[in-house]
Structure 1
Amino acid sequence: MANNDKIILPEKYYLDNFKYVLSFVMDKYEPLLSNNEIAFVTGFTTLSEDAQCLYVRVSNRKGLFFRKEKLIYSEIANLNDAHEELLDQNFLINKPFLEIEECYQLINIYNKPEIIQMLNPLDIEVDKKLKKDELILGLLEGHDAEILQQIFYTNSIITQGAREELDMIKLFFFGHNHGDMSDFVIRDVGHAKFMEIDESKLGTSFDSREEAEAVMQLSQLNKEFYLLEEALSPLSMYAWFKEIEIGYFLNMDKAKQRAEKLVHKVGYHLEKHKHYEEALELYHISSASPLRERRIRIYNKQKDFDKSLTQAKQILEGPNDNKEYYIALDVINKLDKKLKTTTLRQKEGVSISVDESYLHRVEQGALAYFEAKGYQGYHSENSICRNVFGLFFWEEIFDPKYNSLHQPLQRNPSDIYGKDFYAKRKEAIAEKLQKTKSKKHLSKILESSLELHQGISNPFVHWDESMIEAMWQFLAFAKLKQIKSLLAEMAIDPKNRSTGFPDLFIWKENDYSFYEVKSPNDHLSEKQLFWLERFQEWGVPAEIALVEWT
């Protein structure tokens, strides 16, 4: 498609997509749906098309409240009739009582002059110099929310009904709480291409109603956390968390990872405010990353180095990821009066002189330095290695038999960043690597993926032409054994081992190298150290370029 070819979507494309989602969920998950959710789907199909359009339009907008006069949709013939129909069928509602946060959102849909004008008849004094948000907060602090609701909740206010039912239906469809109907638009206008998979082969996001409700509850708890974070004291946040039956969520596969993230958020909030004992209590709930590393940091702050050392040794016996491994190693090295592992390695880098005009483009400056010495190169960062991985293992990543593809707009398999990714595909990965006997064979696999899947969304592949060229250039130099070692290493833990690769790839004649670029105030990360060590082990030239400004 030419750049100036603009795709015009059908007038009611959004309604077609919404109906598709309802049909998909009913076909695949009806036994798991509640009576209210089934009634929602059934009731929606009986609405007039204008009413359906208005409901979908409102449900796709952000916010709780909308002003009818601000909703202008040419495809809806009679907005007032559609509004009345939706109110009658409870797809739109009039809320009898608003919480403080809801009242804030209601007043916020008006601009500042409108707010002042609506208050005039009631002789409510306001400081017109205040910013809008300060004005609203002042109103909420000084006046009864019920009175404010009577002023601002007029007959022209539209409030979405059946929100909980729709949220659950979207959860079943997308498999997560941040699913967005705009994904259909991104696909339909050609901004993204998705894998085409026979829907009969798609797996399920949830195997039980309990799993889906647990994920929905955790989503609500996360929202609560962000609201309470600023309003409550740290110890009150701790008391709030203690009321949650976190063990229930941790014992459920589909909810476990989300629960661990909540534990980390609350624990880190306590740690920031120096409530170390309470934070440690939460960090001991699970051994997931980064909870064990946070324990070490608190033990060190408390100068309890015995516990820190014990924890470090436990991590080294079975690290969750590269960062955890190197932090544990640093604790042990410190006892031998050694520098931090990453610091030691950085000191071994080579110094290069870069003009200060590249102060905010340090990688480009380093590349210019090498180009002045006759090298060619790319600022490729993670793209080269990720491209090789994503193209080589394309079938293994997207094979429906692993039950990690649940709906047709899915960019990434649901297990792509979890421990299950490798566990499920271990045999297929090993077999493919074993059967790849030559670089020519490997190149054919990559060429086939490029030809069959050009432009299709893949969590690892960067389709920029220059990055594909950089991949081929690297493969021209690397040995088959080195490439296969790279692929095997990345496959073990794609979440943590698909980033941290060196910034630059350069070559001249038969000489090539990767370089991790560090400005004077920049520090080597654990992920970067991991790949520098692996490259050294495999004989892939890789170094740290320490920039000196000139």
Structure 2
Amino acid sequence: MRELPTYYYLEHFNEFLSYIVSHNKALLGKEHHAFIEVYSQASHDEKCLLVRCINRKHPFILTSSLRFSELSNITKLITSLQEKGWLRSVTEADALALLEVLTKQELHQLHEECVNVSEGKTTKLAALAPKKSASKADWLSSCKRLPVKKITLSATAKAYVARNADPVINYFLFLYFGNCRDRLNQFSMRDLGVLKTREVNTTSPTQISRYTSKEQAMTLFRLHTMLREEKHFIPDSAKQIDDLIEQLPVGIDAITDELQHKLLYRLALKLLPLNRTDALSHLFNCKHPAAQEKWCREIHKDGDLKALEKHLLAIIKQPIDERLLLFAQDFLARKFQKKRTSVLTDMLRHDTRQLTLDEVHKGRVEQGLVELYRSQGHHAFVAENNLWRGLFGLTFWKILFANNELGLLTEFDFLPECLKQNNFYDTAHDEIENVLSSLSSSLIWKKHILSMASKELGKTQYLFRWSTELIDSISLVLDNTDISHLKTMLRSMAKDWRRTRDGFPDLVVSSPSGLRFEEVKAEGDSLRRNQLLRIQQLREAGIHVHITTVDFNFDPQQVYAVVDIETTGGRAANHKITEIGIVKIRNGEVIDQWQSLINPMRRIPNKITELTGIDNQLVADAPIFADIAEKLDAFTENSIFVAHNVNFDYGFIREEFSRIGRVWRRPKLCTVQQMRKYYKGLRSYSLANLCQHFNIAMSQHHRAMSDAYAASELLRLVQAKKQNASTS
């Protein structure tokens, strides 16, 4: 890890402030300019201590903790920072917030300072003090009952100072990062090599900001701050919420208006149990889709069906968004037209096909279906959101990632601001349409994607995940889909990224009947509203989508590769394979087998030779793992990997593939676990003891093929139990 210089906090802050001054000057108010002016005239040590304080987690700082080898006379510096208005003493308004920062020992000390025990008389507060051994939470609760004036005047509180520049610094952070979460420690993490950042062209003369005006920036900052605080806000009364609603900034454009209504919705939810009438009024007038849905559901509870029907019809006539429209149509049909089931339920009941997978695929059903389709000779990939986001990102890469005006402003930005603010199409309409019109054939589009991928491969961004399968699946879609349909989808994503970025089907499959997307649902899964909307949107664009429900059962036609290996030792990271034996089973019958000694390229320990009979001379002329890797991969393809203590054998083989730079995965099944499940109560589940119990012949224990055959007999016993269970 890199060693950071003495003044790295100060260097980070100066780098950060330089960006604010050069790129965001028009967005600053009087208080911000005043801070910058005072800071520019401060001494080096004053700046250094201020920045040290800014980087503290809490706004309350114990002065005795401000000890830095590079700074002398800290007491004088603290006084200077107070005179500049950057630090201040703790006030009565701070009292309760300060308590949250104090340690248990400090809370105990504070309590003793504040209770009056003069003249030998214990007051009520003293009597209510917790035991010294009580938890910190008990001491905190007790201290919150103390008079705030006494807390402020206590020696404990006077040992602290409070940051006074936070409103200014937090606004600067908002301008720099575009949110209220990220802090200056991002710079330290970058310098330590913990956080990867994006390369930025520092010679570019372009000086732009995230926001179009000071009014927009300040309104957004206030709304984001209120949204962050709302998460932790527990109201004591309806008036507290009413006061907050009164303070809500008025939206000045679509972005601020959307945030304002989101905050109004959240506050209305908190108001609902305290003042139902006012809360319902706020929900009714709120333009957030969730607020409209909540109002409808609450009015339905109240039984005001006339008002409900009228409002549902109004939503359908002029919907805010597609999700709300779907809700309104569905709710109207079920509550007023005597329809018994939802659109989601109907689609799952009537618009699906059903498949059965072996139960080994539970927890990885999508990959299980991919393997099934591939075994049938089809092309299949897990697609989900990544395929569509990858197609979108690589198609519009130059607009999104090479054009700073769309919001990649700092090295910490990996998702363009135009997507965060959902105005990509409005901002870059002409460029988007030019790109789409230039992609006149699937071949040209594929070349464009491959060109972008080869140039930008591996670059960090928050739009999609890089992988070989991503490019392969995009190529498959481009080769087998009408590109006008794909352009329709990408245009929709550009126009409303926020609502179309997820919910896409799980798989893409190409078979002789054509290309289709599949939404996969296993037992217990539900079809979410955003998934239904994507299915409808894709179908309306002319793209085929199926819904596949999956049951799990024992599939006798599933191929199992029963594996045993011998090794030079017990740890995959430190030892190597000396022999592999594999028996293929389908429908209870052996259909193939494969075995090979392997030269581990290291000495085999004597104790291993005594156990297995495999010595250095025996493997001297055997192939190394790299020589048999391709055959092993092909032999186990589309099979379930089975072994006794499967993680041992599987882990060694996966590690050997990793050493030659290949990723290798198979679904796996453990005969130890399966025997414990289906044959309970046996004395031992070791391979040798199980073979003895069930009279399974072992020609040569601790040799790969012999043990693989023995494990395959255990698998047959398990499968017999499964088959009996499925037919009974």
User: TM-score normalised by the shorter chain: which range applies?
Assistant: 0.7 to 0.9
Q: CA deviation at 1:167?
A: 2.2
2:172 & 2:304 partners in 1: Cα distance? 49
1:290 aligns with 2:282: no
Q: 1:135-159 CA deviation, whole Å, 9 max, x = no partner?
A: 2112212x22333344463665353
* Residues 344 and 528 in structure 2, CA contact (< 8 A), matched pair in contact too: yes
1:279 & 1:462 partners in 2: Cα distance? 42
Q: CA deviation at 1:21?
A: 2.4
1:130 & 1:61 partners in 2: Cα distance? 28
Residue in structure 2 matched with residue 45 of structure 1 by the alignment: 40
2:171 & 2:342 partners in 1: Cα distance? 48
Residue in structure 1 matched with residue 576 of structure 2 by the alignment: none
Q: Which has a greater percent of helix? A: 1
Instruction: Kindly provide the amino acid, as one letter, of the partner of residue 45 in structure 1.
Output: S
Residue in structure 2 matched with residue 99 of structure 1 by the alignment: 94
Q: 1:462 aligns with which of 454, 461, 465?
A: 465
Residue in structure 2 matched with residue 329 of structure 1 by the alignment: 329
Residue in structure 2 matched with residue 448 of structure 1 by the alignment: 451
Q: What aligned pairs does 1:213-228 form with structure 2 within 5 A after superposition?
A: 213-222=218-227, 225-228=230-233
2:43 & 2:74 partners in 1: Cα distance? 12
1:464 & 1:194 partners in 2: Cα distance? 21
* Residues 65 and 160 in structure 1, CA contact (< 8 A), matched pair in contact too: yes
Instruction: Kindly provide the amino acid, as one letter, of the partner of residue 278 in structure 1.
Output: D
1:212 & 1:400 partners in 2: Cα distance? 21
Q: CA deviation at 1:528?
A: 0.9
Q: Secondary structure at the match of 1:315?
A: helix
1:450 & 1:77 partners in 2: Cα distance? 54
- RMSD over aligned Cα, in angstroms? 3.6
Q: Secondary structure at the match of 2:35?
A: helix
Q: CA deviation at 1:41?
A: 1.8
2:135 & 2:57 partners in 1: Cα distance? 22
Q: What aligned pairs does 1:340-489 form with structure 2 within 5 A after superposition?
A: 340-347=342-349, 348-354=351-357, 360-364=363-367, 366-367=369-370, 370=373, 377-398=380-401, 400=403, 404=407, 407=410, 409-418=412-421, 420-489=423-492
Residue in structure 1 matched with residue 264 of structure 2 by the alignment: 263
1:199 & 1:153 partners in 2: Cα distance? 51
Residue in structure 1 matched with residue 142 of structure 2 by the alignment: 138
Instruction: Kindly provide the amino acid, as one letter, of the partner of residue 438 in structure 2.
Output: K
Q: 1:439-486 CA deviation, whole Å, 9 max, x = no partner?
A: 222123223332443444444232345434443444344343333232
- Please say which of residues 505-514 and 472-481 is displaced more in the overlay: 505-514
2:189 & 2:503 partners in 1: Cα distance? 29
Structure 2: segments with no counterpart, 5+ residues: 118-125, 554-728
Aligned-pair identity (%): 21
Q: CA deviation at 1:523?
A: 1.7
Residue in structure 2 matched with residue 3 of structure 1 by the alignment: none
* Residues 65 and 158 in structure 1, CA contact (< 8 A), matched pair in contact too: yes
1:520 & 1:267 partners in 2: Cα distance? 36
Instruction: Note closer, same or farther for the CA distance 1:402–1:162 as it changes in structure 2 (3 Å cut).
Output: closer
Q: Which has a greater percent of strand? A: 2
Residue in structure 1 matched with residue 574 of structure 2 by the alignment: none
Instruction: Note closer, same or farther for the CA distance 1:159–1:485 as it changes in structure 2 (3 Å cut).
Output: same
Instruction: Note closer, same or farther for the CA distance 1:453–1:314 as it changes in structure 2 (3 Å cut).
Output: farther
Q: CA deviation at 1:260?
A: 1.2
Instruction: Kindly provide the amino acid, as one letter, of the partner of residue 262 in structure 1.
Output: L
Q: 2:535 aligns with which of 525, 532, 537?
A: 532
Instruction: Note closer, same or farther for the CA distance 1:499–1:67 as it changes in structure 2 (3 Å cut).
Output: same
- Please say which of residues 121-130 and 408-417 is displaced more in the overlay: 121-130
* Residues 316 and 325 in structure 2, CA contact (< 8 A), matched pair in contact too: yes
Structure 1: segments with no counterpart, 5+ residues: 1-5
Instruction: Note closer, same or farther for the CA distance 1:530–1:151 as it changes in structure 2 (3 Å cut).
Output: same
2:373 & 2:271 partners in 1: Cα distance? 47
Instruction: Kindly provide the amino acid, as one letter, of the partner of residue 446 in structure 1.
Output: I
1:31 & 1:417 partners in 2: Cα distance? 22
* Residues 507 and 518 in structure 2, CA contact (< 8 A), matched pair in contact too: yes
Instruction: Note closer, same or farther for the CA distance 1:87–1:429 as it changes in structure 2 (3 Å cut).
Output: same
Instruction: Note closer, same or farther for the CA distance 1:301–1:418 as it changes in structure 2 (3 Å cut).
Output: farther
* Residues 329 and 341 in structure 1, CA contact (< 8 A), matched pair in contact too: no
Instruction: Kindly provide the amino acid, as one letter, of the partner of residue 214 in structure 1.
Output: T
1:18 aligns with 2:13: yes
Q: 1:147 aligns with which of 145, 150, 158?
A: 150
Q: 1:166 aligns with which of 169, 176, 181?
A: 169
1:198 & 1:260 partners in 2: Cα distance? 40
- Please say which of residues 517-526 and 459-468 is displaced more in the overlay: 459-468
Q: Secondary structure at the match of 1:44?
A: helix
Q: 1:394-419 CA deviation, whole Å, 9 max, x = no partner?
A: 23335658664555543333332445
* Residues 202 and 407 in structure 1, CA contact (< 8 A), matched pair in contact too: no
Instruction: Note closer, same or farther for the CA distance 1:139–1:515 as it changes in structure 2 (3 Å cut).
Output: same
Q: Secondary structure at the match of 1:193?
A: coil
Q: What aligned pairs does 1:504-519 form with structure 2 within 5 A after superposition?
A: 504-507=507-510, 512-519=515-522
* Residues 195 and 456 in structure 1, CA contact (< 8 A), matched pair in contact too: no
Instruction: Note closer, same or farther for the CA distance 1:206–1:473 as it changes in structure 2 (3 Å cut).
Output: closer
1:289 & 1:509 partners in 2: Cα distance? 42
Q: Secondary structure at the match of 2:428?
A: helix
Q: Secondary structure at the match of 1:39?
A: helix
Instruction: Note closer, same or farther for the CA distance 1:374–1:151 as it changes in structure 2 (3 Å cut).
Output: farther
* Residues 309 and 331 in structure 1, CA contact (< 8 A), matched pair in contact too: no
* Residues 312 and 328 in structure 2, CA contact (< 8 A), matched pair in contact too: yes
Q: 1:521 aligns with which of 519, 524, 548?
A: 524
Q: Secondary structure at the match of 2:256?
A: helix
Instruction: Kindly provide the amino acid, as one letter, of the partner of residue 331 in structure 2.
Output: V
Residue in structure 2 matched with residue 280 of structure 1 by the alignment: 280
1:449 & 1:36 partners in 2: Cα distance? 45
Q: CA deviation at 1:179?
A: 4.2
Q: CA deviation at 1:68?
A: 4.7
Q: CA deviation at 1:346?
A: 1.4
Q: Secondary structure at the match of 2:488?
A: helix
Q: 1:230-270 CA deviation, whole Å, 9 max, x = no partner?
A: 2324x3355324533x4x51245553222111111112234
Q: CA deviation at 1:496?
A: 0.6
Q: What aligned pairs does 1:194-233 form with structure 2 within 5 A after superposition?
A: 196=201, 200-222=205-227, 225-228=230-233, 230-233=234-237
Q: What aligned pairs does 1:68-79 form with structure 2 within 5 A after superposition?
A: 68=63, 70=65
Q: Secondary structure at the match of 1:352?
A: strand
* Residues 65 and 105 in structure 1, CA contact (< 8 A), matched pair in contact too: no
Instruction: Note closer, same or farther for the CA distance 1:11–1:368 as it changes in structure 2 (3 Å cut).
Output: farther
Count residues with an aligned counterpart: 536
Instruction: Kindly provide the amino acid, as one letter, of the partner of residue 169 in structure 1.
Output: F
